A and B are shown apart, each in its own frame.
Chain A
Amino acid sequence: MPKHIFRLLCLILGFVVVALIAMPLLTVDSFYRFGHYRADSVPEIAAQEPVYQTARYCLTCHTPRVAQWSANSHKTVTCEVCHGPAQGHPANGKLPIPKDAVKLCTLCHEAMPGRPHTQPQIEVAQHNAYTSSGLQCTSCHNPHSPKMATALVTVAGNAAAGKQRAESCASCHGTEGISPNDTWPNLAGQNAAYLARILAAYKSGDQQDVAMTPLANELSNADIQNLAAYYAGLSCKASSGGKPPGDAAAGKTLAKNCAGCHGDTGIGSNPAWPNLAAQKPGYLVNVLKAFRAGLRKDPMMAGVSRGLSDTDIENLAAYYATQSCQRPTQERKAP
């Protein structure tokens, strides 16, 4: 064989041998262990730290909040959906509290074709008293327990029986449902569904009051229904006794935030919530302060009353007290 062929063959052979040796040498560690891939990459991927921590993580420190959240309809919306992932919290500081509630809440709750009807949806522009002038969803809805007690309570009581039973209530609430002093609330003309609900709450212990609790314990469910029907049918009167302390005009401005549930003048659309118009101002002050302190329990009221100062509360009370309790267009329905 000519020597150039021989040398060429040596070169080729050398190259092939080098290549054959180089291939396994250059192959990265752990390749081919389980298949045609680098086995080490699996634990590398598995070792990444999770960013979202789940609600169980929040439970350790935010126990009451998580308890509240898990008792209401947002329990399927994990904390981190609204507050962002909790990795690094609390070491890196607080998690954001969303400021623009409308932007966030409407992501799920804006009525949109394609959303199943099981999803609570609203036509944003027409939702209760919402206008585009800054009223946020959180004004009425506590995001941690957004579902409000609604007027599912139908009152089918007997007003006459209620009148009889109401004799023992008259010492505080008046014979005609108009309270003799500033502290105890008027009941005349109040929404029957609200009355039934709050009496039931006193009875069950959901709501506690030094005076009302023992009294409500003595009421049967039928009594509650009858009382509610009776008081709802009474005629209300403008509060007597001069001008209440507090700036009613300032209160009127504040009351815009309350209008969603309680109406512009304290006469609300939902019978589950109390009318405030012509209510005793002293009572209103006490009860708002009680809400603010958490002594009177309502998740929504707790939220909206948190930011109220004592002056605000007085002003609001003054405003509502001076409103007419007559429902302008609606006729009083006798039970």
Chain B
Amino acid sequence: MKEESKLSLEARRAFLGKLGLAATCTGAALGVGALGTIQTATAKSEPAASGARSGTAAEGGSFPTPDYDWTQHQWAFGVDATKCIGCLRCVEACKLENNVPRNAHQFRTWVERYVYLDGEQSARIDSQQDPVNIEASGSEKEFRFANRYKDAKVDKAFFVPKLCNHCTHPACVQVCPTGATYRTKDGVVLIDHEYCIGCRYCVQACPYGARYFDEERGVSDKCTWCYHRITKGLQPACVEVCPVGARVFGDTRDKQSPISLFIRNNRVQVLRPESGNAPNVFYVGIDKEVN
């Protein structure tokens, strides 16, 4: 027993010595690492400290581009469903402008048709993914509404364009586990395609079905209000091509912008207000069944 304890005592001491050496080395490494971290952390937080207040780059220029300062704008969108003719040029333009997968099942924007037939209480609703419409257009790459009700007794019918509502309290941003989707200072909800892990929780969380998963890129995607266009003074592609002015876009900070006038001059409403998301797409002329 004593022999054993003596041996184990020596073994213990030897081990403790080795452990001590290891601890010192580790401590030194950790210390250096900690210093480096503090430096990096402060470097990273510096722009935030000065920039967070004004949202501008540390160098003093405007963000995100030299010609566009996001603190000077607050974007919003309007849809006049009384004007929409269901031509689907907006759907086409969006797909071409934003490299959206060319199929009939993944959209950044789409148009819904509501038809009340004589004698029916609820609307018949269809959109671009309906096989009848796909057939009418000829392929999944082209878009057209089939004139399926032209021989029917239609009581009431209308078209409703839909797109991401860029909510002020977006459910999608709330549930993103990484911070890949976010709301910019100018009111646009964007997705960072370099950071998204493709879990699709945001797709589930959106009450409006505005999001989809891009299988090829492995990330979630949605309408960005053509952020790359609006930061250059252009309109979103769908607004640009709409031949009847059913889509309206602009800066709510500018009292004379198309959207400010649209909101002021009309009784506007939003989709699913009870969700608490506070959407920023304002509708005129939708109906009881539109959600």
Binding site for B on A (CB under 8 A): 3, 7, 10, 14, 17, 21, 24-25, 27-29, 31-39, 41-52, 54, 74, 76-78, 80-81, 84-85, 107-108, 110-116, 118-119
Contacts and interface: CB of A to CB of B under 8 A. Distances in A.
B130 to A, nearest CB: 14
Interface stretch (B163-171, B206-214, B233-241, B272-280): B233-241
Rank and list the top 8 A-B pairs by shortest CB-CB distance, nearest first.
A114-B157, A37-B182, A48-B228, A41-B192, A43-B64, A113-B154, A36-B179, A42-B64
Contact of B240 (A14, A46, A52, A118): A52
B232 A78 contact: no
Nearest to B38: A24
B51 to A, nearest CB: 6
A48 to B, nearest CB: 4
Given A33-B48, A43-B65, A110 B147 contact: yes
15 contacts: A33-B52, A35-B183, A45-B64, A45-B190, A45-B227, A46-B65, A49-B228, A50-B97, A50-B226, A52-B229, A85-B93, A112-B150, A113-B157, A118-B83, A119-B244
A10 B229 CA distance: 55
Nearest to A37: B182
Contacts of B224: 45
Given A24-B40, A37-B182, A50 B195 contact: no
Interface in B40-77: 40-41, 44-45, 47-48, 51-52, 55, 63-65, 68, 70
Q: Is the interface of A mostly helix, strand, loop or mixed?
A: loop
Interface of B: 12, 15, 19, 23, 26, 30, 33-34, 36-37, 40-41, 44-45, 47-48, 51-52, 55, 63-65, 68, 70, 82-89, 93, 96-97, 113-115, 144-145, 147, 149-150, 152, 154, 157-159, 179-185, 190, 192-195, 224, 226-229, 231-232, 234-235, 237, 240-241, 243-245
B245 to A, nearest CB: 7
B241 A45 contact: no
A25 B37 contact: yes
A41 B115 CA distance: 42
A78 B240 contact: yes
Nearest to A108: B87
A116 B80 CA distance: 12
A51 B86 CA distance: 23
B144 A107 contact: yes
Given A41-B195, A45-B228, A114 B37 contact: no
Given A45-B228, A114-B114, A25 B192 contact: no
A150 B68 CA distance: 48
Contact of A114 (B51, B115, B182): B115
A196 B161 CA distance: 45
A312 B44 CA distance: 77
A52 B96 contact: yes
A50 B232 contact: yes
B93 A52 contact: yes
A42 B179 CA distance: 13
Contacts of B159: 114-115
Given A32-B44, A51-B237, A14 B26 contact: yes
Contacts of A35: 179, 182-183
Q: Is the interface of B mostly helix, strand, loop or mixed?
A: mixed
Contacts of B181: 37
Contact of B243 (A25, A76, A114): A76
Contacts of B52: 33-34
Contact of A38 (B63, B87, B179): B179
Contact of B89 (A32, A34, A81): A81
Given A25-B40, A41-B192, A43-B64, A80 B228 contact: no
Given A50-B228, A78-B240, 19 more contacts: A34-B52, A38-B194, A43-B64, A44-B194, A45-B64, A50-B226, A50-B232, A50-B237, A52-B237, A54-B235, A76-B245, A81-B93, A85-B93, A107-B87, A112-B86, A113-B157, A114-B113, A114-B114, A114-B157
B158 A114 contact: yes
A116 B241 CA distance: 18
A91 to B, nearest CB: 18
A61 to B, nearest CB: 19
B23 A34 contact: no
Contacts of B82: 116
Contacts of B64: 42-43, 45-46
B97 to A, nearest CB: 5
Contacts of A14: 26
B75 to A, nearest CB: 13
B96 A85 contact: yes
Contact of B45 (A3, A32, A74): A32
Nearest to A76: B243
A66 B180 CA distance: 43
A174 B253 CA distance: 69
Nearest to A112: B147
Given A37-B182, A52-B96, A42 B190 contact: yes
A310 B84 CA distance: 45
